[in-house]
């Protein structure tokens, strides 16, 4: 699929550990631009840091309201592993997941969600809602926010600015 993420070094900051994977997610997000989809990309890493699933928004391309980058990446990772439980895996996504994607991450049992840009309008991993830390759920992934946030945010800001320009 893609190059594996480099292993974390002993003294590395958590953000640095996931920068390579976030750049892979950003590459997926840029591919969404070709179909007019909102440029969001995601990758799923196995416990060793290898990419086992990747996705980008495909709602416009497919007409599927559930074709968010995270859902597609989770589906592909599960297909590759041959099971729905993604225990030990990390979801890396360029934009804070919405309620659907946060819920899918919890249900897939990912250990960690790493995201880039904060989504104050629809984010469900701490901004508007906090689905993944709800104590009523039986699984709560670790969250690492704002990895390469300026780069992730700029891609989205540019996309929406171009759509608003007459």
Where are any strands of DSSP class E within 22-162?
A: 41-45, 51-56, 90-95, 112-117, 142-144
Catalytic residue list contains 70: yes
3-state secondary structure of 47: coil
Catalytic residue among 17, 28, 58, 70, which? 70
98 annotated ligand binder: yes
Do the Cβ atoms of 87 and 111 come closer than 8 Å? yes
Q: Which residues contact 110 (CB under 8 A, 6 or more apart)?
A: 44, 74, 86, 87, 89, 90, 91, 141
101 annotated ligand binder: yes
20 annotated ligand binder: no
Give dist(CA 39, CA 25) in Å, integer: 10
Instruction: Could you list the residues known to form a binding site for Zn(2+), using ranges.
Output: 68, 98, 101
Catalytic positions, written as ranges: 70
């Amino acid at each position: 699929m893609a190059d594996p993420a480099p292993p974390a070094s002993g003294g590395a900051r958590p953000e640095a550990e996931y920068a390579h994977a976030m750049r892979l997610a950003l590459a997926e997000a840029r591919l969404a631009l070709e179909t007019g989809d909102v440029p969001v990309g995601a990758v799923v890493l196995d416990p060793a840091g290898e990419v086992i699933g990747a996705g980008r928004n495909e709602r416009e391309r497919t007409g599927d309201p559930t074709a968010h980058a995270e859902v597609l990446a989770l589906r592909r990772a599960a297909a590759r592993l041959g099971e729905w439980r993604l225990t030990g895996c990390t979801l890396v996504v360029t934009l804070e997941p919405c309620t659907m994607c946060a819920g899918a991450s919890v249900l897939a049992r990912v250990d960690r969600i790493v995201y880039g840009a904060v989504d104050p309008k629809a984010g469900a991993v701490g901004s508007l809602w906090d689905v993944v830390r709800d104590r009523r759920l039986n699984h709560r992934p670790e969250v690492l926010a704002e990895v390469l946030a300026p780069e992730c945010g700029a891609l989205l800001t540019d996309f929406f600015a171009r759509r608003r320009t007459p």
